[in-house]
Amino acid sequence: MAEPRRKPNLVKTKVPMPAQDPQVRIKNFDEVALGYTPEQAVEEARRCLRCKEPRCVQGCPVNVKIPEFIMLIEEGKFLEAYYKILETNNLPAICGRVCPQENQCEKHCLRGEKGEPVAIGRLERFAADYAASCGEPRHEPTNPAPPKGKVAVVGSGPAGLTCAADLAKMGYQVTVFEAFHTPGGVLVYGIPEFRLPKRVVQREIDNLKKLGVEIQTNMVIGKILSVDELFSEGYDAIFIGTGAGLPQFLRIPGENLNGVFSANEFLTRINLMRAYRFPEYDTPIKIGRRVAVIGGGNVAMDAARCALRLGAAKVYIVYRRSEEEMPARREEIHHAREEGVEFKLLTNPVRILGDDNGWVKGLECVTMELGEPDASGRRRPVPKPGSEHCLEVETVIIAIGTTPNPLIANTTPGLELTKFGGIVVDEATGQTSRPGIFAGGDSVTGAATVILAMGAGKRAAKAIDAYLAARR
């Protein structure tokens, strides 16, 4: 496939991503990374070696045909590149922005051995944005009439959206039920506008509607209809993609003081309800001059960077291990640091202090040391005696993780669960302990990633097709 005389671009580093200046961007919610120009994309695409056995592809949970799409970009066939990605990934504009590529495709890229890997994520984003700028003349499949069957998808995050899209393409009549008034899951209520513009998510939702998928918002399954009632309403199979929306708290004193938020509440107010535009939007948000965000994942970085944009003078990340163990994407840690977020590493909160009126006035912490590795393989943090100290803050945001919401599990008899409340499934198919009910994404794994949720949605769509074919 490679032309004999092609000379790859051997520069060791990625073509830099244009980005908003940190001092400017902390005053707005506009996208930080601005995306490649066509010239920059071609130049970066030229760095790909077109390996015969591309390791990058094996690192991708949905096996995007990486060297093939990159080659198309190099040849200036940007739309074709987009269609190539679409063969395995329904949401490239989203994945190109938020996937942890450094742990997936790019981690395995041959170019990464001497220098930086090919910027696969940025190229994926480029192809998707380019297609969108041309009005995205996507080929719509012609669905058989009558449909092959009726499937209900509960939850409209990446798992549900992917499963619904694949099933619709296979010829099923699909209805998505979403609890919120806007579909998209964490993509709309969690990940902030400056990292994933909501119009990008909206585009994907619109595509889904074009495929004939019906989306019913304001439908809390387990309350308005149970899963079993969906069956009696004529759905032949059900996919549960309800995510991991239940916030964890630290169980330390002072957690119910005014000014303490779960990251879910803080981010939902800002992203879904647009509290950063209060009073134009009705939902308020309250932020102190100094803010502590507890946790070290993407959620913590997002909360910290939102806090800055709301005008906080000082924002701390309080994390009990060292930077090395932080689960957040490197790029996000880097962006947060550039913007002035201060990292309090090896620091564990023990108590939130309040004033007489019930408002936060400080966070008492202890310093930690790393001890022996624990079950997770990470070195276990242990408190240093006598290291208590206080951070003066008026706002505390708790971003230490979420677990699956028990609403569906509690109202669906016979659905087997794991210890932490995840739905038990056969990994290859997403089949749960109940025939006809499939599940995937964070509702199964606990908080994970967009691409893993999509992978699970895809596998389940295939399995649902097989299950219903066998019943026909």
Ligand X SMILES: Cc1cc2nc3c(=O)[nH]c(=O)nc-3n(C[C@H](O)[C@H](O)[C@H](O)COP(=O)(O)OP(=O)(O)OC[C@H]3O[C@@H](n4cnc5c(N)ncnc54)[C@H](O)[C@@H]3O)c2cc1C
CA distances from 164 to 128, 237, 464 (A): 20, 12, 11
Do the beta carbons of residue 224 and residue 241 sit within 8 Å?
no
Site mask for other proteins (CB under 8 A), range 380-419, x = bound: -------------------------xxx------------
Does 395 participate in binding ligand X (rule CB under 6 A)? no
Could you tell me the two tokens for 411?
């109202």
- If the CB atoms of residues 242 and 347 are measured against ligand X, the closer one turns out to be 242
CA distances from 272 to 92, 334, 378 (A): 22, 25, 34
Does 273 participate in binding ligand SF4 (rule CB under 6 A)? no
Name the residue among 472, 450, 378, 461 with its Cα closest to residue 101: 450
Does 99 participate in binding ligand SF4 (rule CB under 6 A)? no
Does 448 participate in binding ligand X (rule CB under 6 A)? yes
Does 121 participate in binding ligand SF4 (rule CB under 6 A)? no
- If the CB atoms of residues 127 and 451 are measured against ligand X, the closer one turns out to be 451
Does 88 participate in binding ligand X (rule CB under 6 A)? no
**Separation CA 90–CA 154 (nearest Å):** 18
CA atoms within 13 A on the CB side of 402: 26
- If the CB atoms of residues 110 and 417 are measured against other proteins, the closer one turns out to be 417
Site mask for ligand SF4 (CB under 6 A), range 6-45, x = bound: ----------------------------------------
Name the residue among 144, 151, 145, 189 with its Cα closest to residue 167: 151
Does 159 participate in binding ligand X (rule CB under 6 A)? yes
Choosing among ligand SF4, ligand X, other proteins, none, which partner's interface includes residue 268 (Cβ < 5 to 8 Å by kind)?
other proteins
- If the CB atoms of residues 37 and 410 are measured against other proteins, the closer one turns out to be 410
Collapsing DSSP states into helix, strand and coil, what is residue 125? helix
State which amino acid sits at residue 151.
V
CA distances from 13 to 32, 241, 271, 334, 426 (A): 20, 38, 34, 17, 41
Q: How far is the CB of 232 from ligand SF4 (least distance, A)?
A: 49
Site mask for other proteins (CB under 8 A), range 305-344, x = bound: ----------------------------------------
Range 423-428, long-range pairs (CB < 8 A, 24+ positions): 423/240, 428/459, 428/463
State which amino acid sits at residue 92.
P
Does 180 participate in binding other proteins (rule CB under 8 A)? yes
How many chain residues are in contact with ligand SF4, going by CB under 6 A?
14
**For binding to other proteins (CB under 8 A), which residues are involved?**
179-181, 217-220, 223-225, 245-247, 249, 251, 255-256, 258-259, 261-262, 264-265, 268-269, 273-274, 278-284, 286, 357-358, 405-407
**For binding to ligand SF4 (CB under 6 A), which residues are involved?**
48-51, 54-56, 66-67, 109-111, 118, 120
